[in-house]
Amino acid sequence: MSTQSFEILIIGAGIAGASAAADLARTHRVAILEREEYPGYHSTGRSAALFSEIYGNGVVRALSRASRDFFYNPPDGFVQHPLVKPRGSLYIARQEQIPHLEDFARNADLAGSIRRLSREEALRACPVLRPDYVAAAVFEDDAA
């Protein structure tokens, strides 16, 4: 067993821990301690794990569309588990945001990928939403 010494110990290898460690490693001896089998297992892995072809500006959407086949059909031996699982994505709007949501839904680049939901449908789809907050929504069926 070898003995190593570090100046800084980072607990957790999620995006925050890994980013802090990368920055600090420029000038310090840093170790990251992670109890899970692989980094980003908890909230980092879930929050960063959205594949959406309608999110972001036109360039981001084009890159997402170009990446779709790779995410759904990665090369043999690249991963042991699927990179994506279909689950959909809900975009909500408050009353004053409805014009923006309508513009978003009319965008020809997105229109085939989303369907509009009423306030009631959005609340049924995601019961934790505050009824006084949600006025309208769109749902992206193909998000993963």
The mean per-residue pLDDT over the stretch 75-104 comes to 91
- pLDDT at residue 111, rounded to an integer: 64
Joined tokens for residue 103: 């513009």
- pLDDT at residue 46, rounded to an integer: 58
The mean per-residue pLDDT over the stretch 19-40 comes to 89
- 14 pLDDT exceeds 80? yes
Higher pLDDT pick, 101 / 112 = 101
Share of the chain above pLDDT 90, in %: 44
Question: Could you tell me if 71 and 51 are in contact, meaning their C-beta atoms sit under 8 angstroms apart?
Answer: yes
- 110 pLDDT exceeds 80? no
- pLDDT at residue 47, rounded to an integer: 57
What's the CA gap between 87 and 13, in Å, rounded?
26
- pLDDT at residue 108, rounded to an integer: 65
Q: Which helix H or strand E contains 32, and what residues bound it?
A: strand 30-33
- pLDDT at residue 43, rounded to an integer: 64
Question: Is-above-0.85 flag for pTM?
Answer: no
